[in-house]
Each structure stands twice: as structure tokens, then as C-alpha cells.
Amino acid sequence: MTEAQPATVLVVDDIEANRDLLGRRLKRQGYTVFVAEDGAIALQMMVTQPFDLVLLDIMMPRMNGYEVLATLKADPEKRHIPVIMISAVDDIESVVKCIELGAEDYLTKPFNPVLLKARISACLEKKRLRDQEQAVLKQLQAEQEKSERLLLNILPKPIALRLKEGWNTIADSFADVTVLFADIVDFTKLSGQISPTDLVNMLNEIFSAFDHLAERHGIEKIKTIGDAYMVVSGVPLPQPDHAISIAEMALDMQKVIAQFNAEREEPFSIRIGINTGPVVAGVIGTHKFTYDLWGDTVNIASRMESQGLVGAIQVTSATYEKLRERYDFEERGIIEVKGKGEMRTYLLKGRKNF
């Protein structure tokens, strides 16, 4: 119901003369009018036709006004439609019963046309205000859901819930998780050869595929930095098979790059590093905050990637011990890891055939 669209009124009365009289008066006042000769027909009409107001007689065959009113107010989708009871019955008990059942107003026959017009206008104004309120609430709910989705794109759901509950500091220790770093080899060299838009689109296509893998394997994406990609398994909720889920994702990431190269005829390769151990995870910052990881486990995982081999998945001994029963490895041997000294590393080759 808007200024350009007149209100739609349903007149329900078993006496044709009453329906005609009310209908003519309402049409002269600018309303769109529908009529029904009994309550059952009225309820059927309300299924397919939206109404702004119902004028409802009480004494009718088949289904009286009380029953129609009770049925209407019991329906969550239609209970907001205002109802004015119009009846020859003029006693306080009938009025009270109608009001208790949810009627907006009560007029007795023969009705005063001036009073009828005033009551109808008041009911429709209340409905208009209610409709406006519901529209605002629906818009607020949509905005709240949008904000919720944006928050969950930034933070893991358990962390987002804690922030909403008022936690000022979030820092948790995890004794055993697996961290993966990946980097697209020589991707940055491409920035001088193609447009920035094409570069970002290509990176977005690859990382979006990685995001789907993380979701499928139950892994938490931490961040991307340029053409580097970081995920963790076992955070923020402990996961007993965290190393396995990371291994599966690493192998699938290689497939994504191979498929991307086949479709685009690009020569991209990916370098992946994995490590297992304890970390501290938490939220830093008050503006543009982020969920991040800290500790030697993270640093070593990053070194496994940066000092790994092109096209390979390099893992530490800690990760190897978690996975060697289920996966095939090639021992790379002892390498000098920046900041950590000599470390024995392995290259994850694939799943074992049982």
C-alpha cells in the first residue's frame, strides 16, 4: 500500500445488501474493494490476494466471524492484517471477545459512515507504519547478515563469536597443528609482462580454487601475501588428523596448478612447505584486525617453502613422522635452514597404494 496504490479492503458479510453498501462507500473513498459472502470464502481469497484491511461480520453461516478472526490471527503470515468487526450485536461481551481474538476495532450496525471512515483510516495508518517498521527491520537484518558474512570471511567462526561476546584479547596455544605455506614460483616476474587487472584475475582464480580446497578439507586459511598462501589445520579447533588434511590439500593444490596450466597454457609451478608442531594463534589489531599464528612451527613451515624445490612439497621430520604410514616420501636429506641450522627434510610424493 503506497500513495500511488490504494489500499485493498476485503468486505466479509453474508447479506448482499450490506456488502454492496460497504463496497460502494469504500470505492468512493478510493479503496480497492473485494467482497466475500462467508468466512470460508474469505479465507480462501486471502491465500492468493494480499489485503490491507478486512471488514468482518460476526453472524454468518458455515463459519462465523469469531472463527474467521481466530484462524486469521493464528496464521503467522496473515496475522498482521488489521480486522474491523462490523456487527448488529451490540454488547460488551462480543466486543471484548473480538478484541481478545485480535480485532483492531469493532463497529455496530447500522454504522455511522463518518466514524467508519475514521476507523478505517486509523487502521490503515497503523498498518502502513507497521509495514514501514517491518521493512526497516528486514533491511537491518539483511545488513547484519552481510556484516556477519564479512566477519566470517576475515575470522574463523569460533573467533568471531568470541569477539562478538566482548573478548578484548584472544590468544590460544595449540600443542600440535600442521602449517602449510605455498608460493607460485616466478609469479611476480609476470607483473611486468601483463596488465595489473589480468595479473590479479589470474591470482584470484588460483587462490579461489585453493580456498575451496581448504573448505573441503576442513582447513583454516590464515592469509595471502602477494602470491604466497598460508593455511593451518588444528586451529582454532583441535583436529586429530591435521597433518593428513594438510597433506591432502597440498597434493590437490598441485593438481589445481597443473589444471590451470593446461587450460591457460601457462608455465606456473608451485612450491609448498609444511611443518608440524605447537603454535600460538590469536587476533591482533583493533582496526583491520586479523587472525594469525606465531612460533617456530610457523617460521620453519615458511622456510620449508622458501627453501624448497620448484614443484615439490617439502616437509619436516615432524610432519614426515605423522604421515609416513599413509604417504610416499623421498628423503631430500640434510639442508641448511636459515635461522635454524641443519634440518632433515622430505618430499611428499603421493598417497601409498594399499
The pLDDT value recorded for residue 155 is 75
CB atoms under 10 Å from CB of 288, counted, come to 6
Chain centroid to CA 120? 40
Of all residues in the chain, the percent with pLDDT exceeding 90 is 54
The pLDDT value recorded for residue 255 is 96
- Residues 261 and 264: their CA atoms lie apart, in Å, by 5
The pLDDT value recorded for residue 345 is 96
Higher pLDDT, 199 or 240: 240
Contact by Cβ (8 Å): 36, 42: yes
pLDDT digits (tens, 9 = 90+) for 191-234: 777 888 888 888 899 999 999 999 999 999 999 988 899 999 99
Q: Which residue has the cell 481474538?
A: 101
Q: Whole-number mean pLDDT of the chain?
A: 89
pLDDT digits (tens, 9 = 90+) for 4-28: 578 999 999 999 999 999 999 999 9
- Residues 205 and 224: their CA atoms lie apart, in Å, by 13
pLDDT digits (tens, 9 = 90+) for 153-166: 777 777 777 777 76
Count CA atoms closer than 13 A to 301's CA, side-chain side: 28
Residues 6+ apart with CB under 8 A from 103: 56, 69, 83, 84, 85
- Residues 55 and 67: their CA atoms lie apart, in Å, by 14
pLDDT digits (tens, 9 = 90+) for 128-153: 888 888 888 888 888 877 777 776 77
Of all residues in the chain, the percent with pLDDT exceeding 70 is 95
The pLDDT value recorded for residue 136 is 87
329 grid coordinates = 616420501
CB atoms under 10 Å from CB of 160, counted, come to 17
The pLDDT value recorded for residue 199 is 84
The pLDDT value recorded for residue 268 is 84
CA dihedral 101, 104, 109, 110 (to 10 degrees): 180
Assign domain 164-351 one CATH number from 3.40.50.2300, 3.30.70.1230, 3.30.450.20, 3.40.50.720: 3.30.70.1230
Task: Identify the band that residue 109 occupies on the pLDDT scale cut at 50, 70 and 90.
Answer: confident
217 grid coordinates = 578439507
179 grid coordinates = 602449517
Contact by Cβ (8 Å): 154, 291: yes
What is the maximal distance between C-alpha atoms in the chain?
A: 102
Q: Could you say which architecture CATH assigns to the domain 8-137?
A: 3-Layer(aba) Sandwich (3.40)
Report the predicted TM-score, pTM, of the whole model to 2 decimal places: 0.63
Numbers of helices and strands, H then E, in the chain:
10, 13
Contact by Cβ (8 Å): 12, 49: no
Domain boundaries, the chain: 8-137, 164-351
pLDDT digits (tens, 9 = 90+) for 283-330: 876 666 788 899 999 999 999 999 999 999 999 999 999 999 999 999
